[in-house]
Chains A and B, each alone.
Chain A
């Protein structure tokens, strides 16, 4: 059974700033344990699509199913990692990670015990009692990932989570994310505008067009990991995806 099914998703915004038609008839099947990268230029609606799966926004028409169930509102079965860490600034790292357990009424001692496991997983031991304002952007983003993982969601939705990080931290985080995904086996939908990032992370790369957002092509990319980002297979795939994007911009240039 497909883990996520998007059927004829259309999203129309009524405010002028974002234009009218943002998503135009999106159809996509994401299988369980897929690592899908949504790749597209800014403003193509990829974040909107993610927000629809998360339940933050409603599609104007179409159906969104996660594990066969219609998505109506946000829920802890879908962990979201935001572009900015979006942690509760008044909570320490460990309390941020355990926040879901607190909402469920789990006792403090058990919360801390279970959150410590995720502190270790994202390599933040020693920083568990720091507040977000006392940590770097990369560390906060790790807390954001740990917080999503602790809920043990069947789907993790990530909206350009590494965009604000420096190149070196970004590489480390990408490697860690792949390691976590291999270890825990969950479905990840990862929004990015970087071709390289999509190729490093995904085993399915969904290339989207400029507004109105449509799916140009969904490329399966099963290069074994760790991936050699200078190898011929990587470069072939990159060439193919860049060609899709270039074709898109020429089409736009001719149209205008």
Chain B
């Protein structure tokens, strides 16, 4: 009985600590933003060069909702710009995932593909995707295609490398178990090797989605006339650093959301990867 009364104040304290821990995380960003705001308002730098957080928020708000046209031609066009970038990310990422997984599994599984395909791909890998921009423009012109091509290049190699690794490191006893139960070559690949390599493949996809956003924005700065990256670069020419910062925030947010979405898919696909045992939970 005494133990119950002993525990409850401790629990209250525990709850307080937890609430505080939530706030704790906000302290540094809050201080940074407050300092930035104070510095911007002090007039040590012209406001055009360092817009205050409030001005950036204002620009972002107008860009999204178009309430007072501070962002001029962009006012209210955020959704269109974000969608343009997101579609390029999605297009390039989808292609990269498809070909990266196919090539990775082929190279990881078959000695023939490893010998014929891998050396070429490994030689192409160190070339920074950005350095393809001139060729991408010559080949595909100024539109969606060069951007999708660059995103593909940036996202393909992480997926490829992780797929190869995933397939190569499949526990060979699982393959033996599969053979013992009568799996043929195709079943071995689809029913054993592929699911076993899935955690590694997903790790590659998560790196790839980050690269995809990076390259979309880069491509849009140089080779495309729409999207968040284009707005960012265009605003830079017109000295609108509030919009530049608003674009940076938008990209960060969308990149974060795509990773979150991918993580949710991964958590569902790999829900068998739990570390707790029945005994662990009971005890």
Contact = CB atoms under 8 A, between A and B. Distances in A.
Contacts of B180: 54, 74-76, 78-80, 148
Contacts of A87: 177
Interface string A99-133: 11011100000000000000000000001001111
Given A89-B273, A133-B274, A135-B278, A76 B171 contact: no
B66 interface: no
Interface string B173-188: 1101111111110010
Label chain A's interface by main secondary structure.
loop
Given A54-B180, A76-B181, A136-B278, A86 B272 contact: no
A103 B198 contact: no
B174 A74 contact: no
A100 B192 CA distance: 12
B110 interface: no
Given A99-B181, A136-B279, A80 B176 contact: yes
B177 A82 contact: yes
Interface of B: 171, 173-174, 176-184, 187, 191-192, 195-196, 198, 270, 272-279
B177 A102 contact: no
A82 B173 contact: yes
13 contacts: A82-B173, A86-B177, A87-B177, A88-B177, A88-B196, A103-B182, A103-B191, A127-B278, A133-B272, A133-B273, A134-B278, A136-B277, A136-B279
Contact of A76 (B173, B174, B182, B198): B182
B176 A102 contact: no
Interface string A132-161: 111110010000000110010000000000
A6 B248 CA distance: 72
Q: Which of B191, B270, B276, B277 has the most CB of A within 10 A?
A: B277
A126 B181 CA distance: 25
Given A89-B272, A103-B187, A133 B277 contact: yes
B173 A90 contact: no
Contact of A86 (B173, B270, B273, B279): B173
A86 B276 contact: no
A153 to B, nearest CB: 9
Label chain B's interface by main secondary structure.
helix
A240 interface: no
Contacts of A33: none
Contacts of A89: 196, 272-273
B181 A147 contact: yes
A79 B176 CA distance: 11
A54 B180 CA distance: 8
B196 to A, nearest CB: 8
A230 B130 CA distance: 77
B52 to A, nearest CB: 51
B278 A130 contact: yes
Contacts of A147: 181
A13 interface: no
A13 to B, nearest CB: 16
Nearest to A56: B176
